[in-house]
Chain A
């Protein structure tokens, strides 16, 4: 594979291949930022990959009180799924089990769109007849009585059919420490880009996967070409100096947001340099045949 060298780091002349997804956003508020974050973290747990979790979800960003509908600290959460019905199911279950249950929480739509997903309209039945509907202007809310007061929840939130899932950066380094340092820096940079999430633990996946398996019924399996302990095998894509590989997966509400996030991540890694960070940057794709969105690394360079 041909490569560019930028600031001493090898950049593969390749591209990340991403897919169209359905997405939504919600805003969670609470008495303070810590509890807003707690509810958001809880509802986005076990949401790293649609392969096994039903959806991919994460915190887009924390919100100041003047940015939320009820004037309390909040968090904006993004959810991505492969179908509208699965997204609706995941949204309902996760908000119902993880946000409704969290002390002092309230939940609002975080995405303006013509197509809507049920939010409070699905959860109101928890009120067992004591729930109250309030409409202020064109916005409808449900007030569901709970033990610490009321769970206030917007009736619906917006649905996007133009979201993108699967933007990615593969970070390769000489040691686990330097590779992790570069990847952490990239995730931090991506965190400043609006409308994107990095759904894996801390934004980082150590177990990149490929489509399919030699075993029947297994839809994804380890990306052996990038497994450092398989270097030297016929399929390896790794150089001799690489001993650690990590991947950042990026989902965004728009293709532009994913591109901006990848650009921010790549630049952060390049800025750190090869001594303290990564030796090489790559990206995952399927030959360009499966996903309609292609993000060429050379287009993202400074």
Chain B
């Protein structure tokens, strides 16, 4: 059975909450019932059928033809199946995602993968600030799963992250891995200022170094880490280039000593 397809009719006139359009909600629904699902975020009612041309199909495989930076909360809370979007999305893509796969063939806005619990989120383009971070009122960010960003990530990627893995193949903004509790954040490109700001535990890998490292991180020297070989094996399926780099010796900085200092940043052997 082919995928359930939502084809964008026109650019939306308001921000949309696409959280209801997940496999969890749509499996077993008829075309008319799916078309009647409300997506508006203003007082002006907007149903799925108003925004998209719907081609009914396997609701565990959902495809969006065409995206918009006004597509908010796409894949939020999904626990199974796959959603792919051929275009950009707005804020909080994959927020609180529990399982399944969300693939964005475009750019994502801020808080992508916010407080994600499981599954895989792949962003082919860039993503905004606070990737995987908590929203206001939450104390913990990402708690599981894998986030793969092919482009760049904004500031505070991995904020308050507790578990799981984030791989950024491009650059990351300042304060990457800020307030990290645990988990792993890997940045292939250059990382902005002060990665690991106030991190208590967890691992940040800055494969191309950072613009500035906080003096509250202490140099533990260059080592060959067996654990990084395990990390490389896991990363191999997502980014073979990053995996190959992980197998090399890395310089380890311990910190942030401004808090409990049990976190670590892996840095190129020759610091720059």
Interface residue ranges, A against B (CB under 8 Å) = 29, 69-72, 106, 129-130, 132-137, 139, 141, 143, 149-150, 152
Contact = CB atoms under 8 A, between A and B. Distances in A.
B230 A134 contact: yes
A149 B264 contact: no
Contact of A69 (B163, B165, B230): B230
A275 B122 CA distance: 69
Contact of B230 (A132, A136, A149): A136
Contact of B184 (A129, A134, A143): A134
Contacts of B229: 69-72
A131 to B, nearest CB: 10
B13 interface: no
B181 to A, nearest CB: 12
Interface string B198-241: 00010100000000000000000001111101110110000000
A150 B230 contact: no
A133 B230 CA distance: 13
Contacts of A71: 229, 233, 247
B182 interface: yes
Contacts, number: 48
Contacts of B247: 71
Contacts of B226: 29, 70, 72, 106, 149-150, 152
A70 B231 CA distance: 9
A149 B264 CA distance: 15
Mostly, the A contact residues are strand
12 contacts: A29-B226, A70-B229, A70-B230, A71-B229, A71-B233, A106-B226, A132-B264, A134-B184, A136-B165, A149-B224, A149-B226, A150-B225
Contacts of B203: 132, 134
Nearest to A154: B230
Contact of A152 (B165, B230, B233): B230
B182 A69 contact: no
Contacts of B224: 149
A71 B234 CA distance: 13
B221 to A, nearest CB: 10
Interface of B: 163, 165, 182, 184, 201, 203, 223-227, 229-231, 233-234, 247, 262, 264
A293 B218 CA distance: 60
A135 B163 contact: yes
A71 B231 CA distance: 12
A149 B223 contact: yes
B45 to A, nearest CB: 43
A137 B234 contact: yes
A210 to B, nearest CB: 47
A136 B182 contact: no
Nearest to A151: B226
A164 to B, nearest CB: 32
Q: Which 10 A-B pairs have the closest CB atoms?
A: A136-B234, A70-B229, A152-B226, A143-B227, A106-B226, A152-B227, A70-B226, A71-B229, A70-B230, A137-B234
Given A69-B233, A71-B229, A141-B230, A132 B201 contact: yes
Nearest to B226: A152
A29 B224 CA distance: 15
Contacts of A139: 230
A72 B229 CA distance: 9
Contacts of B225: 149-150
A134 B228 CA distance: 10
A133 B182 contact: yes
A139 B230 CA distance: 10
Nearest to A30: B226
A149 B163 CA distance: 24
A134 B231 contact: yes
Contacts of A136: 165, 230-231, 233-234
Residue among A29, A72, A130, A136 facing the most chain B CB atoms (10 A cut-off) = A136
Contacts of A135: 163
Given A129-B262, A136-B230, 5 more contacts: A69-B230, A70-B226, A133-B182, A136-B234, A137-B234
